[in-house]
Amino acid sequence: MTVQLNAQHSLDTAVPARRGNIRDTAGELLAGNLAVDFIFAVPDQIRRPEEVAAKLAPVLGVDTDELLPLLSDKTKPYVRLIGGKRVDQTISDQVIALALPGIFLEPTTRRTYPERSLGSHVLGFVDGDGNGNYGIEGAWDKALAGLPGHLRAERDTAGNEIGFSDRDWRPPLDGMDLILTIDRTIQYIAERELERSVIEHKADGGTVIVMNPKTGEILAMANHPTFDPNRYAEAARTPELLTNPAITFAYEPGSTFKVITMAAALNERLVTPDTTMDDNGALSIGGFTIRNWDFKANGRITMTQLLEKSSNIGASWTAFRLGKTLFYRYVTAFGFGAQTRVDLQGEGTGIVKNPKSADWSESDLATNAFGQAIAVTPMQMVTAVSAVANGGLLMRPHVVKALVNSVTGETVEQVRPQIVRQAISRETAATLLQMLFRSAENGETRGTLVPGFQVAGKTGTASIPVNGGYDSNQTIASFIGAVPAADPQFVILVKIDRPKDEPWGSLIAKPAFAIIGQELTRYL
């Protein structure tokens, strides 16, 4: 509340609106408001500032010498005490009990996040000026903030309000409450398992996204390291903490991108699951030699075996059958190279070279086919694979489910699923899901991932570009999968950055996916 006093003791007050709450899909509070107060003084009404300072200083936890100059300065009609810091109700009650002349409370709120770091990159934070920054708080600031009201009144020399007319009062319009698609329990599972994996494998960090492929709803979005939005000023000392890698970080997806290459070839009817090719372990093109991840030749393999064995040579062969025009048409159709338009701030586009790019060459077609020399965001990747999981529809991802009137509880707007385009046919999607089931069960690490459920998925191990080349000792290990394969209810992406003990997605990310998938199937 902003207060101004003139010489005639006319009081102009901007009355703040209550900021809307943010809740998870089940109504659990993720961001709310805590009642606090500013303490301010009107020096003109304080006849004995030494006495007032002596009584007030112990309550506020400051020295008398700090308060006395402020209380004695008659040139200022209004001054906030203790540096404008807000105090909780315990201190406010003590100030009220003192009943000191010229000392007033200015009611306000402080944004609070009861779950601390849970979902912090999704939520963002509210700064000391009440402005939403980053995440939901930033992207939806206007809806959450509402509109302030205004009060004008007259006070007598003792500071008592004389009265005001209807024309002097404009009530505030409180902000909307937001209901998210995020499920608190799923978010907790994702964050816990991500943190465990990062610590166990001495990784730099990582990301987990859980999406409902049918609706585009984000059920969980976790990053590590994370921060506590209640203490955002501390996080600001490390600026990279205040970006959301799930939507901003562009990385080479490695073999998970073979899903896109295979989807395109199947959809164009250039291959079937049983189409065969000869994988001799090496392919020379444009002065470069491409090899399989294990430097081995797989011999004659089917397209299903291509995914099971994660053949780089097979993926390049498939891309050349498509040709550059068709291949990049499907890259675009699946949303790569553009924002997904998720309802959060700061989304990146990834990096996609195409034949129109000055630095593109045929070797890019060969390597892009298995996720090298192309960069995507985690959100793009999970959205694209969700299109395979839902029958071929690219959905717009979203984290806000509904806007609710914070006073009446009435739903003002329900966010509906939004189809962006049909990326592939339903028939192609169903065929590819079965191939990916075989890949997940019979791939580099065999075995059932989620007991009682079939999983359609693909591992990825991408070397990180360094100084124009690749450092095989620095990788991004990932696994993306849909559960259950026959009718996927959720798609999970696990991405671990620079693990130090093992480089492989099959050994690092796939086990984390399995644990998350098992807990989700029990929970849902």
Active site members: 255
E strand residue ranges, 226-337: 276-279, 282-285, 288-291, 299-302
- The C-alpha angle with vertex 257 and arms to 253 and 262, in degrees rounded to 5, equals 175
Q: Please identify which residue in the block is written with the tokens 């998720």.
A: 342
Residue 33 and residue 47: Cα distance in Å, rounded?
Answer: 36
| DSSP collapsed to 3 states, 385-417 | HHHHHCCCEEECCECEEEEECCCCCCEEEECCC
Q: What are residue 229's phi and psi, to 5 degrees?
A: -65, -15
* Structure tokens belonging to residue 48: 């004995």
Residue 314 and residue 320: Cα distance in Å, rounded?
Answer: 10
Residue 139 and residue 119: Cα distance in Å, rounded?
Answer: 15
Helices 184-200 and 505-523, axial angle in degrees (round to 10): 160
Residue 194 and residue 191: Cα distance in Å, rounded?
Answer: 5
Q: Please identify which residue in the block is written with the tokens 């609706």.
A: 215
Question: How many CB atoms neighbour CB 287 within 10 A?
Answer: 7
Residue 141 and residue 128: Cα distance in Å, rounded?
Answer: 14
- CB-based contact 73:81 (threshold 8 Å): no
SS3 call for 31: strand
**Closest Cα to residue 178, out of 416, 413, 418, 417?**
413
* Structure tokens belonging to residue 340: 């997904």
